A and B are shown apart, each in its own frame.
Chain A
Amino acid sequence: GAVVSQHPSRVICKSGTSVKIECRSLDFQATTMFWYRQFPKQSLMLMATSNEGSKATYEQGVEKDKFLINHASLTLSTLTVTSAHPEDSSFYICSATVAGGPGETQYFGPGTRLLVL
């Protein structure tokens, strides 16, 4: 089946630093990738939709200059949290849809747990 990986799985950083999270589709091409954020005991909230070769579409309330998304190829999207602060501590999860496949199925990565001190 379709596999999505994320790296790193866990990161601890100091306030003010930037953190890059990679999301890769391992055995399929993903024209569209999505980035979600999940706080403890809460639901997943869509942050942005990332399309290969074009600018990401951000959801209302998500700062595009703080959460930089780059979708350089059909198998890789990156999320960079710039100047991270403790309130950015969360579980960041990416997902991908299979190009040409059923649009209803999204394959999720294992998530990246970010802790900003």
Chain B
Amino acid sequence: GQSLEQPSEVTAVEGAIVQINCTYQTSGFYGLSWYQQHDGGAPTFLSYNALDGLEETGRFSSFLSRSDSYGYLLLQELQMKDSASYFCAFSGSARQLTFGSGTQLTVLP
């Protein structure tokens, strides 16, 4: 079957660094994406890894290890506005996304 696992909740303080892990299981893997979703809003694309290694985009970085079926999203210099749900998702052959259950990040002052 296909599945993704990520922690349900993470709490950190402003200015800190937080890592959200994601493990997945699928027969056909084309890449791992990360999306951010604020309450009541639509998901917004953050990052994508097709190959092993680290991708950096400003304060956000994403890592993938295909051999371990594992990835993570790293958020640095946390800001209050980063409080949101974060989803990892893998792409299928038709570009469809299968999402994890989401991690609710709370940033405290």
Contacts and interface: CB of A to CB of B under 8 A. Distances in A.
Interface of A: 32, 34, 42-46, 49, 57, 93, 95, 97, 102-111
Contact of B101 (A32, A42, A102, A106): A42
Task: Sort A-B residue pairs by CB-CB distance and give the 4 closest, nearest first.
Answer: A104-B48, A108-B42, A43-B99, A103-B95
Interface string B9-32: 000000000000000000000110
B96 A49 contact: yes
A44 B102 CA distance: 9
B105 interface: no
B99 A44 contact: yes
Interface of B: 30-31, 33, 41-45, 48, 50, 87, 91, 94-102
15 contacts: A32-B95, A34-B96, A43-B87, A44-B87, A45-B99, A95-B97, A104-B48, A104-B91, A105-B33, A105-B45, A106-B45, A109-B42, A110-B41, A110-B42, A111-B42
Contact of A104 (B31, B41, B94): B31
A117 to B, nearest CB: 20
B42 A93 contact: yes
Given A104-B95, A106-B95, A106-B97, 9 more contacts: A43-B100, A43-B101, A46-B98, A104-B48, A105-B48, A106-B33, A108-B42, A108-B44, A111-B42
Contacts of A104: 30-31, 33, 48, 50, 91, 95
Chain B CB count within 10 A is highest, among A42, A46, A104, A105, for A104
